[in-house]
Amino acid sequence: MSTNAIAQSVSELANDKNWWRGSVIYQIYPRSYQDSSGDGVGDLKGITERLPYVASLGVDAIWISPFFKSPMKDFGYDVSDYCDIDPMFGNLDDFDRLIEKAHSLGIRIIIDQVLSHTSDMHPWFVESRASVNNPKSDWFVWADAKPDGSPPNNWLSIFGGSAWQWDGRREQYYLHNFLTSQPDLNLHNNDVQDALLESVRFWLDRGVDGFRLDTINFYFADKELRDNPPLPKEERNSSIAPSVNPYNHQKHIYSKNRPENIEFLKRFRALLNEYPAATSVGEIGDAQYGLELMGEYTKGNDRIHMCYTFEFLSSELLNAERVKSVFQKLTESAPDGWPCWALTNHDIKRHTTRWDLDEQGRRLYVLLMMCLRGSVCLYQGEELGLPEADIAFEDLQDPYGIEFWPEFKGRDGCRTPMVWDSQKNNGGFSESKPWLPVPEEHLPLSVNEQDKAGDSLLNYYRAVVGLRKQHPALAVGEQSDIAVSGNVVTFTRTLDNTTMYCAFNISKEHATLDLPDGDWELFGGQLGAVIESHENQVMLGPNQALLAEKH
- Rounded CA-CA distance 420/32 in Å is 11
Q: Using only C-alpha atoms, what is the Rg of the chain? A: 23
Phi, psi dihedral angles at 379 (to 5 degrees): -110, 135
In sequence order, the β-bridge partners of residue 250 are 230
- Residue tagged active-site, from 60, 78, 112, 214: 214
Active site residue 274: yes
CA 304, 306, 309, 313 dihedral sign is negative
State yes or no: is 214 an active-site residue: yes
- Residue of 274, 336, 517, 535 with catalytic role: 274
Give the residue from 241, 242, 244 showing the smallest Cα distance to 255.
241
β-strand partners of 545: 504
HSE-CB for 210 with a 13 A CA cutoff: 31
SS3 content of the chain, % helix, strand, coil (to 5): 30, 20, 50
CA distance 268 to 336: 20
DSSP character string of 172-225: EEEE-SS-TTSPBB-TTSHHHHHHHHHHHHHHHHTT--EEEETTGGGS---TT-
Strand spans (E) along 276-392: 279-283, 306-308, 340-342, 375-379
Q: What distance in Å separates the CA atoms of residue 329 and residue 331, rounded to the nearest whole number?
A: 5
Which amino acid type is present at position 335? P
Residues serving a catalytic function are: 214, 274
